[in-house]
Amino acid sequence: MKSRGIGSHIFSRNRDSREVVVIGEYGIEKALSRSTIKALLAILVLLVILPLLIMEMGSYALTFFSLILMVAVSLIAMVEYRKDKEAYRVLTSFIENIAIKGDTLIIHGRKMELGHGRFYSRAVYGRISRIRNFFYISNKYRSNIIELERVSKEFTLLSDFMGDYANIPGVKVLSKPYENVILGIINPKTMKLRVEPQTLILQAKGKTLAEARLKIENSKIRAILYAYPGVRGVVYLKLHGGVPERRVSITLGSVGPGEQCTVVKHFLPSKELLIITHERLFTVRSLRDRVGIYDPLLISGFGEGNYKLKLVLKRTLHSALSSEARIFLEHVK
């Protein structure tokens, strides 16, 4: 069964400067992924018991063990699928009972308990993908009105081939019937960046080999790269950074001997995003698909972690000459 997503009938846009993105997908594939992880934990317990069963029952123990494993995975997958389906129903109901007027989101009906804080999503991809979402609440209040401007703060988005990481400011609904629905704001205007130093120079034995002149304009980096004639190899400008559990490296540009080029890197998204999702259903991949970010390597927001631009000349397999500049985020109050 294919994953299901909330369709275009509740995917809307509000104002030219803000895009409303609804993320709510579920399917048997996701349920199986979760159930497999839980089943593996059960296997660890059974492995302790299995040798005893084999001693007593011989080959019948293996058949018995396989049957138990198949039933366990199927039952857990069914439970996970039903939970995801219920989360999808809650999210759909929430969408049908809200209105957005300017910078205010109104939930129709009675006041409910809301939590301001940050939404974290961590994903590791492989044969068995692992996704963990949780919301850290800094303060609670009762209302049916959410002022979106108050929610907008710095954010962090990181992606590579191995996984994703997100740290997004938001509001979590704590009361039924919309419990665990999350509103998140990704605002590129919070990316007030500066870079130090603004010139990178590669030198060896007193001789300048290459240089990069750096400039940050709003949410983009502009760099002019130049490699002097006689340089042996290719000079790269790379963007490195992230948090301890997810570090990403992106090659922004390169030049050969005697070459010059201008590199411009835009940090996506280009407009403010209002994310409406459920804590069980969100993934960074779904967000990227919705807003059209198709490059598998992503660094954006810079709200958490350490980041740098690095000018690199690879000399040998185990040797490189490099110079780097730090990227700083000017926190917006």
Residue spans of the domains in the chain: they are 193-269+292-329
CATH class of this structure's domain 193-269+292-329? mainly beta
CA atoms within 13 A on the CB side of 247: 6
DSSP state of 223: E
pLDDT tens for residues 161-186? 999 999 999 999 999 999 999 999 99
Per the structure block, which two tokens stand in for 132?
């963990």
**Cα–Cα dist 117/153, whole Å:** 10
Strands 130-143 and 13-14, by their bridges, are unpaired
Q: Is the pLDDT of residue 196 over 80?
A: yes
**What is the distance, to the nearest Å, from the Cα of residue 135 to the centroid of all Cα atoms in its chain?**
14
pLDDT tens for each residue of 205-228 = 889 999 999 998 878 899 999 999
- For the record, the structure tokens of 298 come out as 């992503």
> What's the CA gap between 162 and 148, in Å, rounded?
33
Q: What is the pLDDT of residue 57?
A: 56
Q: Tell me how far apart the terminal alpha carbons of the chain are, to the nearest angstrom.
A: 46
Q: What is the pLDDT confidence band of residue 5, given thresholds at 50, 70 and 90?
A: very low
Beta strands in 150-230 (DSSP E): 156-159, 163-173, 181-186, 193-196, 199-204, 207-217, 220-227
List pLDDT tens digits, range 256-304: 999 999 999 998 888 899 999 999 999 999 999 888 888 999 999 999 9
